[in-house]
Amino acid sequence: MAVRLIRGVALIVQNPKGEILILQEYESKPYFGKYRGMFSIPMETSKPDESDIRAVARLIEEELPGFGFPLEEIVPAHIGIYRIVPHVWVNLYSVRAATVQLPSNNSESMEVGNYQWMRPENALNLWLRQGAREMIEDFVNNKKGMLCRRCRIPEEK
């Protein structure tokens, strides 16, 4: 039986202070390389035939409620493509936030929460979801057009 390939998008949101948005996973989905308690940048699975721009807009609507991005003005910069786990490929984009205000809905009933701004180098010290480390490192090093075929498996906590 063939494994279905899954596409997704990830977003590095940087505020005017140079910090990036980090959130915490509230659900475990080993199939996607994430476990409850891990930290990550925002990521979302794309729907079939959904464009990356629409998937990024949906990511903002669903995981960053109240963040205040005017969706019609979002022009994300493409950083690269990452194979998170063998069957999941994610396109990484970055955007700049105009404010340091955090999303208003921080409920644990959601899939993610505990939003926080963090210096990228400090984020790399967290227990990160598979793929997030490579994405943050490439962003910090200002790399573009990346193709990461294998993301490191995080150590268990």
Which CATH number belongs to the domain containing residue 73 in this structure? Answer: 3.90.79.10
User: 154 in a domain, yes or no?
Assistant: no
List the domain range (segments joined by +) for residue 120: 6-148
Residue 103's pLDDT is what? 67
Does 59 map to a domain? Answer: yes
Number of domains in the chain: 1
- Whether residue 54 is contained in a domain is answered as yes
Question: Which tens digit of pLDDT belongs to each residue from 54-105?
Answer: 999 888 888 887 666 655 556 678 999 999 999 999 999 998 887 787 866 5
Q: SS3 for the chain, per residue? A: CCCCCEEEEEEEEECCCCCEEEEEECCCEHHHCECCCCEECCEEECCCCCCHHHHHHHHHHHHCCCCCCCHHHCCCEEEEEEEEECCEEEEEEEEECCCCCCCCCCCCCCCEEEEEEECHHHHCCCCECCCHHHHHHHHHCCCCCEEECCCCCCCCC
The answer as to whether 1 is a domain residue is no
In a domain? residue 49:
yes
Residue 103 maps to a domain: yes
Q: pTM for the full model?
A: 0.89
